[in-house]
Amino acid sequence: MKIVVQRVNEASVTYENTTNSIKKGICVLVGIRTDDFDMDTDYIISKIINMRLWDDGDKTWCKSVMDIDGEILIVSQFTLYGFMKGHKPDFHNSINNEDLMMDTFDVLFQQLDKVPSLFYLFLILFPFSIYFLIKGTLSINDG
């Protein structure tokens, strides 16, 4: 499993005329590989909620998204495991089975549900069915 974390002042994803948005917090792009396991989600969740990205006065990098009562927007991104094969992108390392992908995300969200006082939104897109229906992504980065 691979993630890209962006500290944001706000972020949103619009899909089929529905917009999911957050205020201050983090936007997390999640890529799932064909050989990822459930145990990977524990590690990823720990990193997401404990990553220290905010300052506290004179102390730098000492507060997490939980410490600032921030929000999390999670978006599936199968292209994170893409690579260039000649002049074309290749996504064979990305998960290509919708059921397996949904199972992995279910475990991820079950872990997030255990975290008290955490607000998160998610958008799961299977690359070959509804990926191209996204109408827009907005991320106003912080820093």
Q: Name the β-bridge partners of 73.
A: 27, 121
Nearest-angstrom CA–CA distance, 46 and 41: 8
Taking CA atoms, 74 is separated from 17, 88, 120, in Å, by: 18, 27, 7
Residue 6 designated active-site: no
| Active site (annotated) includes residue 104 | no
| Tokens coding 102 | 């949904």
User: Which is the catalytic residue, given 19, 34, 79, 110?
Assistant: 79
- Residue 77 falls in the annotated catalytic set: yes
Active site positions, annotated? 77-79
